Amino acid sequence: MNTTAPTGLLQQPRPFFMIFFVELWERFGYYGVQGILAVFFR
């Protein structure tokens, strides 16, 4: 039985990457809307 913790970036569990990409798209959308509103209200 292997009891060592995974090391390295690619050894992370799958939910880690899902959470990472959800947060990435959330930030992308937030700043995208901010940019659109800045141009719209100018």
Mean pLDDT by 10 residues, the chain (42 residues): 68 89 97 97 91
Is this prediction's pTM over 0.75? Answer: no
Q: Which residues contact 12 (CB under 8 A, 6 or more apart)?
A: 6
Q: What is the pLDDT of residue 26?
A: 98
